[in-house]
Structure 1
Amino acid sequence: MAIKKQYLKSKPVCKVTFSVPAEEAKSVVVVGSFNEWNTKKATKLKKLKNGTFKGSLDLEKDNSYEFRYLIDGKSYVNDNQADSYAWNEFAGADNGVINL
């Protein structure tokens, strides 16, 4: 898994690109505090020929966001390259944290 951050000079945002290797998966989305954990508003990642799912999101800089990947609408997965992790009492598991 990978997270790439690209700060834009023209706007106070950071373009964050998420990459998830999941050859067997049919769909991967990113949910988090930036979309109220709403799976209907989730950012869908596009499946590439090599089996990796990839997608970008513009997030306001100077903030921290909790997030997880949702694979095939069933399994929540953290990114091993998250900046840190935060315990989520509701889920009973850690969320990944990205600091911008």
Structure 2
Amino acid sequence: MSVKKQFIKTKPVCKVTFSVEAKEASNASVIGDFNNWCPEEGALSKLKNGTFKGVFNVDKGASYEFKYVIDGVFVNDDEADSFKWNEFAGAENSVLEV
């Protein structure tokens, strides 16, 4: 799993690329504060090598909680900037700092 950030100098956004290896999975999404936890808005595309990948614009200067949903299973990104306990979910979420 990985998260890559590309800051845009001329805009108040950061292009964030989420990728997760899930060769056996049929679908994957990234959900979080930046897309209202909506799997449809965070759908990732499956590449030939079995990695799911997607690029999203998020506002700079913020912190976002997120998770991956891989075939209906919620998964944290082990390379996240940090982790935060979420009372609503009753579990830790990955955190993205931009």
**TM-score, with structure 2 as normaliser:** 0.95
Q: Deviations over 1:70-93 (max 9, x none)?
A: 111x20000011000010112211
User: Where does structure 1 differ by over 2 angstroms across 4 or more consecutive aligned residues?
Assistant: none
Q: Determine the C-alpha separation between the residues in 2 that align with 1:46 and 1:39.
A: 12
1:46 alignment partner in structure 2: 45
Structure 1 partner of 2:7:
7
SS of 2:44 mapped into structure 1: strand
Indicate the residue corresponding to 1:91 in structure 2: 89
RMSD: 0.9
C-alpha separation between the residues in 2 aligned to 1:17 and 1:39? Answer: 16
Q: Which residue of 1 aligns with 2:74?
A: 76
Deviation at 1:38, TM superposition (A): 2.6
Q: Percent of aligned pairs with the same residue? A: 57
Gapped regions of structure 2 (runs ≥ 5): none
| Distance (Å, rounded) in 2 between the aligned partners of 1:43 and 1:83 | 19
After superposition, the C-alpha distances for 1:20-79 in whole angstroms (9 at most, x for unaligned) are: 000000000011011221334x3111101110000010000000000000111x200000
Q: Which runs of 5+ in 1 are unaligned?
A: none
- State how far apart, in whole Å, the 2-side matches of 1:3 and 1:63 are: 15
- Report the TM-score when normalising by structure 1: 0.93
